[in-house]
Amino acid sequence: MTQYYYIASSRELPTGSFGKNKTVMTIRDYIEKVNPSAKDQIVMQALLEKDPEGDQLMDIFETELDAAGLYVAGPMKSVDASCPFRQPYIYQVDPDGGSFEMNDEKKLSSSEYYQCRRKCITELFQYMGRHLEIGEELELYSCTAYGCERFSDLPNQDDLVIDLSTFQLEDNFEWKERQMIRVRK
């Protein structure tokens, strides 16, 4: 099953991709200036078949860390009555290129992927810090089910309250399944 993450707010929040370090260029410029051998790759040939002039724009990332970030979509249009949120605007968030979990074991197994995980979590907290006003609260929740059943299980007992004014991201962090996290500023 796939893990889904949500943020609920009392007001609308910005959506889109956050924290990625990319260069945007045309397919033609990429082939001519960055990677001439790409024109022989099957994926690039398919793109050039659809756009023979190579005018289509593409995102270029130098490293996996550059490609890691946060993606926010929403707000959701219809929400099941069993939804655990008190806030009306509910957004799905995704750790793009990483995850919302990091710990010593993951750090030892793959330093590069650990850094991508850390970046996704850092971007999440920076996003909340930028868009949360003093005195406001956001609700975070995660679950594995999708559709009408996604909120049918009750939240677990590991609820957490985070005050952004004093929060320090350490080397270990995990946004657990069915965990309600209240974030205040």
* 67-103 pLDDT tens trace: 999 999 999 887 666 678 889 999 999 999 888 988 7
**Confidence (pTM):** 0.81
Answer yes or no: do 30 and 10 share one domain: no
Number of separate domains in the chain: 2
Give residue 138's domain range.
4-20+64-184
Answer yes or no: do 79 and 51 share one domain: no
Q: Which residues of the chain have pLDDT under 70?
A: 1, 79-82, 104-108, 145-158
- Reference 6, options 146, 131, 184; nearest CA is 146
Answer yes or no: do 42 and 70 share one domain: no
Answer yes or no: do 95 and 108 share one domain: yes
Answer yes or no: do 47 and 125 share one domain: no
Answer yes or no: do 38 and 115 share one domain: no
Answer yes or no: do 46 and 118 share one domain: no
Contact between 15 and 72 under an 8 Å Cβ cutoff? The reply is yes
Answer yes or no: do 14 and 86 share one domain: yes
